[in-house]
Chains A and B, each alone.
Chain A
């Protein structure tokens, strides 16, 4: 007998009278020549041998749903089990409120698990109810403000259901807590891109927004990427935004140590076809941003050659 050990408090499926009608499909095990063989616990083997049998039988019952609870607990990344669970929910035509709670608790436990976030998205698509999602993602982000899954989910909800109105305020809050939160900066770009769009007023406003953060921490990459990104992605010209050049120049002249001041100034000079000024900056960067000395040497040579 493979399953003779009983854990305290956990009934093995193999010993449960409710499951006596099911013939479990045992997990293969290669003793002689194991290949990345995992030493599964008795519990894992018990749960999955029954999961396999139920899936093969295509039973979509309430007891099968509970079995998937255990299978998910043993291996939360098992995408097949999560899919099968959704099939059960569809078959049973279950009210999804409890399932939403279940998914929220797994998200809390394992916020970087792909499958549970996808499951949550499926539930929302099934029910049409996205009312809890902004709070859910905000809660997740309060634990880890850069959790890629949480941001992905929030962006999906906001775009899919057109709920843009609170987002810029949310970014403001997050940047007040941590102005280096690059994910929040990205979200801001995403929101504006997809709601109000980049009118010249918006561009000017947002460049000033970035500038305000640059003044607070001139060596913070995020607002620099944001400002430079707005200009480059929208195919604008630095010459149309003299305030940015003024900011760079004043920071440069006050000897504020920031490689972003330098590289942005260089880009501004290049656009203005002021080769000499750009070359001077690249020369300076070879020293000041020494880890990238070869790159700045290359940029310098590029200009010298042209």
Chain B
């Protein structure tokens, strides 16, 4: 799901030539960030070809960021309609051959719907729904049965989830996506919550944090995914006894140096300000976070020329870290309200809440 450089040569390309800066701005450069994300919303350079299969996440990052920056009203109604139309064009309709298995949303229109092997992807379904909510859509165009039964075909016997039902890797990220989708649709027919909960519990390692799978190393991203999913499923209180809670809470708190790392003895990285910061909020530990430290670190990864944020100081910004730098800053400072499990603004969430026939709650 990540939209970041993977190979060493790619990383080197992203390293800036300048040395570490000494005279960094000490404030969030909102205008620069708005410009950065507005550009992303329309055209992206050729280099993003390798991210074509996560293209919808780029829409979610830009809309999400613009929402946090209060810039959604800048988008005209006609443009919003165009975007909503494009999102819905990526929704798979169930067909006679695959039934519901293909259902959900896919990332890009590069491969047409007529290609049978073009299956929906669980993370794209999640970001599609989030993007629709940010744009003020009421989800009436969503094929609920399609998505819900599509989800059902993704859950494994272990309780974990794959991301596409022709067979992919399975881990906590996709259990999280399944939980968000079901929560937003208020329809849990696609998720066996007991099994999913059992699976997530088995991911809590000896360290107290959660790994991506049973036995895997505790990691900031999967810890967020697990805690958020348990909260969304409504099983957190039932299965997370005091001892388990204390262990995950203290593991998360130990991630903070100034910014946050994702694992012990790993360097701080912009995106963990959100993953760990929001997880701490879900655990009721937000007051234990050192806000100044988090802010100071993010000021070193904020790009003062291009806007956006990079993973580490001295690197070029990318969409993922730019979004999470912003959300990581706000979830810790509390300056802008973010739904700590869904990862959309509370503005978008409350807007959706007000339009639901059956109240969707979050306390």
Instruction: Give the interface of A toward B (CB within 8 A).
Output: 25, 27-28, 30, 33-41, 44, 48, 51-52, 55-56, 58, 74-80, 83-84, 87, 109-114, 117-118, 121-122, 143, 146, 148, 151-152, 155, 159, 180-183, 186-187, 189-190, 193-194, 220-222, 225-226, 229-230, 232-233, 263, 291-295, 298
Bound form: Cα–Cα A80–B44 in Å? 22
Contact of B53 among A75, A143, A194, A294 (CB under 8 A): A75
Instruction: Give the interface of B toward A (CB within 8 A).
Output: 2, 6-8, 40-46, 48-56, 58-59, 62, 79, 82-83, 86, 109-112, 114-119, 121, 163-164, 166-169, 205-208, 211-213, 215-219, 243, 247, 250-251, 253-254, 256-258, 263-266, 285, 287-288, 290, 293
Q: Nearest chain-B residue to A48 (Cβ)?
A: B110
- Contact sample, A vs B, 18 pairs, CB 8 Å cutoff: A27-B109, A30-B86, A38-B44, A38-B48, A40-B52, A52-B115, A55-B118, A75-B49, A109-B7, A111-B7, A113-B6, A148-B217, A155-B215, A155-B216, A221-B264, A232-B243, A292-B256, A295-B285
Q: Which residues of B contact A87 (CB under 8 A)?
A: 117
Q: Which residues of A contact B247 (CB under 8 A)?
A: 232
Contacts A225-B207, A226-B206 supplied; 13 other A-B pairs, CB < 8 Å? A27-B110, A35-B41, A44-B49, A48-B111, A56-B114, A58-B116, A75-B50, A76-B6, A76-B50, A83-B168, A155-B215, A189-B206, A221-B265
Instruction: Report whether B46 and A39 are in contact in the complex, using a CB–CB cutoff of 8 Å.
Output: yes
Known: A36-B58, A74-B49, A291-B256. A146 touches B40 (CB 8 A): no
Bound form: Cα–Cα A152–B211 in Å? 10
Which 3 residue pairs across A and B have the least CB separation, nearest first?
A229-B206, A295-B288, A186-B217
Q: Which residues of B contact A30 (CB under 8 A)?
A: 86
Bound form: Cα–Cα A231–B194 in Å? 28
Known: A39-B44, A52-B110, A225-B206. A295 touches B253 (CB 8 A): yes
Contact of B52 among A78, A181, A221 (CB under 8 A): A78
Instruction: Report whether B215 and A194 are in contact in the complex, using a CB–CB cutoff of 8 Å.
Output: yes
Looking at the assembled complex, report how far the CB atom of B175 sits from the nearest CB atom of chain A, in whole angstroms: 16
Contact of A152 among B52, B213, B250 (CB under 8 A): B213
Q: Nearest chain-A residue to B63 (Cβ)?
A: A36
Looking at the assembled complex, report how far the CB atom of A194 sits from the nearest CB atom of chain B, in whole angstroms: 7
Bound form: Cα–Cα A183–B209 in Å? 13
Bound form: Cα–Cα A74–B52 in Å? 9
Instruction: Report whether B205 and A186 are in contact in the complex, using a CB–CB cutoff of 8 Å.
Output: yes
Q: Which residues of A contact B83 (CB under 8 A)?
A: 35
Looking at the assembled complex, report how far the CB atom of B291 sits from the nearest CB atom of chain A, in whole angstroms: 10
Contact of B169 among A37, A44, A118, A220 (CB under 8 A): A118
Instruction: Report whether A152 and B216 are in contact in the complex, using a CB–CB cutoff of 8 Å.
Output: yes
Instruction: Report whether B111 and A77 are in contact in the complex, using a CB–CB cutoff of 8 Å.
Output: no
Instruction: Report whether A114 and B43 are in contact in the complex, using a CB–CB cutoff of 8 Å.
Output: no
From A38, A74, A146, A194, residue with most partner B Cβ within 10 Å: A38
Looking at the assembled complex, report how far the CB atom of B184 sits from the nearest CB atom of chain A, in whole angstroms: 21
Instruction: Report whether B167 and A291 are in contact in the complex, using a CB–CB cutoff of 8 Å.
Output: no
Known: A78-B53, A111-B6. A190 touches B215 (CB 8 A): yes
Bound form: Cα–Cα A183–B218 in Å? 9
Looking at the assembled complex, report how far the CB atom of B271 sits from the nearest CB atom of chain A, in whole angstroms: 14
Q: Which residues of B contact A112 (CB under 8 A)?
A: 2, 6
Bound form: Cα–Cα A110–B205 in Å? 28
Known: A182-B265, A186-B205. A35 touches B53 (CB 8 A): no
Known: A55-B115, A221-B264. A77 touches B207 (CB 8 A): no
Bound form: Cα–Cα A44–B109 in Å? 14
Q: Nearest chain-A residue to B118 (Cβ)?
A: A80
